[in-house]
Homo-oligomer: A and B are copies of this chain.
Amino acid sequence: MSPRRARVLAGRVGDDPAVALRDHLVDAAATLIGRSPLALITTREIARAAGVSDGVLYNYFGDKNDLLVEALVRQFRRTIEAAAARIPEPGTATLEANLESIATTLLDVEREVIPMIAGLVADPALLHRMFVALHDDPLGPHWFRAPLIAYLEGERRLGRVRSDANPDGIVLLLMGSTSILALAGHLASGTAAEADRRHVVVDELLRGLRPG
């Protein structure tokens, strides 16, 4: 009465079967994206990783890139949501400790996100599809800006940050410098990474943030 399910979903119960495999495919692709460079991921590899046959993909997505776009979005979200939970509350601990912690979190995010962004930039067609899919939701790292700005505004309200500091600018400086560090780490992968210089960044920022 209902069509058969993919063997790989045999165990599951209770979820809408029409959604289950589609979701499973996005999941498998997202996980692959987290592990290996976008450009090296083939449709066969995705099917293999999902435990299904080569053709299923096309029952749920117009083509490979449609799946990839969804998987990228999901993988971005996974990374960013996990990180957002680690942003400190304004007023807790010290400003310095909090900035160090935020820098650490940003480094983690960027380490994961760099290969994805690179994969997108390297594939203009895919980038365009991604852009269309996100048209009003600014891409990638930006999703992460709002909570950081909120944190800094909180500290400013509490007087731990100078009233003339611009949270928007601070976040740009923080995300930019940590992404450079993350990229340097990526480029030097495997070998002794560039000394971790996140404290240099934080020290430098603090000088401009501390109230007079």
Query: Which residues of A does B touch, CB under 8 Å?
Result: 1, 4, 37-40, 114-115, 117-124, 127, 131, 138-142, 162, 164-166, 168-170, 172-173, 175-181, 183-184, 186-189, 191, 194, 197, 200-201, 203-205, 207-209
Contacts and interface: CB of A to CB of B under 8 A. Distances in A.
Contacts of A139: 184, 187-188
B140 A201 contact: no
Given A4-B1, A39-B39, A176-B179, A166 B200 contact: yes
Please tell me how many copies of the chain the complex holds.
4
A189 B40 CA distance: 25
A interface majority secondary structure: helix
A121 B114 contact: yes
A37 B123 contact: yes
A203 B141 CA distance: 22
3 A-B pairs closest in CB distance: A208-B208, A176-B176, A118-B121
Nearest to A37: B122
B204 A166 contact: yes
17 contacts: A40-B124, A115-B121, A118-B118, A118-B119, A120-B187, A121-B186, A121-B187, A131-B187, A131-B189, A138-B184, A139-B187, A142-B184, A165-B207, A173-B176, A179-B180, A208-B208, A208-B209
